[in-house]
Amino acid sequence: MITVDEKKMEWHQGMTIRDVLDKVENVRFCAAVRLNGKLVSSPSFETTLIPDNAVIYILPLIAGG
């Protein structure tokens, strides 16, 4: 089980960030997430594996400085 924006989600072996985002609505403008406190950016969404019990926050649209 993992936590995505403080909601529980089933975990499976080989799960990636992209897999998670595919299950969440309205994430068109997601360019980065925090996975267990560390930033992961969109170019790595397909290749970043999520460990079980991970805590993920979907960051808002990047707004610049």
- Report the nearest approach of other proteins to the CB of residue 17 (Å): 12
Which residue stretches of the chain are H helix? 17-22
- Report the nearest approach of other proteins to the CB of residue 54 (Å): 15
47 touching other proteins, by CB under 8 A: no
Exposed, middle or buried: residue 9 (CB in 10 Å: 0-12, 13-18, 19+)? Answer: middle
Q: How many CA atoms lie within 13 A of 55 on its CB side?
A: 4
- Report the nearest approach of other proteins to the CB of residue 48 (Å): 11
Closer CB to other proteins, residue 6 or residue 10? Answer: 6
